Amino acid sequence: MKAVRVPKEYAEEVRKFVEKIKAKDKGRLIVQRGDYIEIPVYNGFEDYFSEFEDYFSDYDVIEQEKPLFAKKYDLFEILKKDVPEGLHDSIPKRYKLIGDIILIKIPEELEKYKEHVGEVLLNMHSRCKSVWLDRGKKGMLRKPEIELIAGEGSETIHRENGCFFKLDVTKVMFSPGNLAERMRMGRIVNDGEVVVDMFAGIGYFSIPMAVHSSPKKIYSIELNPDSYHFLIENMRLNAVRTIIPILGDSMYVTPEGIADRVVMGHISCHEFLPVAIRALKEGGAIHYHESTPEAVLNRPVERIKRAVEAEGREVDIKDIRKVKHYSPGVLHIVVDFFVY
């Protein structure tokens, strides 16, 4: 977990700036250690700070030891009073806040307490209207499997990094853990570029690119009609006009030879690599996502090299980044590469 380490006399100024750029981790407390203040930030924001090099040149982004968590987020401490001691190890310690809705995973052995967990969470987060039990996603469309356990309502507007995302949690997914990557995409596009977002969803990457950069066009392709509906809604909410929404299967509707940049934001999309490569102009970039077991971390790069070679082109691997842990022993990574 990252934090910005600053001398006490500059802490308030830096705190305001970190909050302004939406980097502050609200689940942890600001702490003082000696003459320095540690301001908690989300993992991945150290890359965001590179744009503000002059501002942060005198401070360090550190790996925080012994972070202090805000008490209102300590679900475990509340639930352990109501759950048998033998089940304490099963009490969830994490959950997701999406707009004014809470999503939580609950182990099977604790499901009989699910309504109580929901009520506790609503008491902890008075601004939220409902709590949903998250049982994962299914299929290529990644449709959520969830159950209402407290409150009411499934539609919300999630705000982050100056963008608005309207969604229905029963119909489409949203991963707060991908925040840093969404922010990175928002600033990586060069002025006047043509972008193809092959798995656009509700606009996870297309909206930040349109809001924070100046592309010529973003072709946003989405197969799921529900996600496509919210993509259109989010274009309106964010008042963006450079996105061209396309409802269809990107295997068949992706335009060829027009893109300066292609985003492949689905974690199981290696079969689409040839399509992405054919969408590019010479010297274009691809951002390829994959869920990869740690034992085969070279697998995405090998797949990329084979696909580029099969298309008779050349590849330059620029970066391999960890987005988050997808599951135990499995990483969600993104590979940035250029094709010539």
pLDDT at 101: 97
- Single pTM value for the model: 0.78
DSSP conformational letter for 59: S
- 256 vs 15, 86, 261, 288, CA distance in Å? 46, 58, 12, 17
DSSP conformational letter for 283: E
pLDDT at 263: 98
Q: What is the mean pLDDT of residues 293-311?
A: 96
pLDDT band at 52 (very low <50, low <70, confident <90, very high): low
Of 36-50, 95-109, 244-258, the range with the lowest mean pLDDT is: 36-50
Which contacts qualify for 143-150: CB closer than 8 Å, 24 or more apart?
143/171, 143/172, 143/173, 143/224, 144/169, 144/170, 144/171, 144/172, 144/173, 146/103, 146/170, 147/114, 149/114, 149/115, 149/117, 149/118, 150/115, 150/117, 150/118, 150/119, 150/121, 150/122
pLDDT of residue 226 exceeding 60: yes
pLDDT band at 49 (very low <50, low <70, confident <90, very high): low
pLDDT of residue 73 exceeding 60: no
pLDDT band at 80 (very low <50, low <70, confident <90, very high): confident
Q: What is the mean pLDDT of residues 272-290?
A: 97
Domains in the chain (CATH in brackets) are: 2-63 (3.30.70.2580), 71-153 (3.30.300.110), 164-339 (3.40.50.150)
Query: Which token pair is 325?
Result: 């842990």
Q: What is the mean pLDDT of residues 73-97?
A: 86
pLDDT of residue 271 exceeding 60: yes
Q: Do residues 137 and 121 lie in contact, with contact meaning Cβ atoms separated by under 8 Å?
A: no
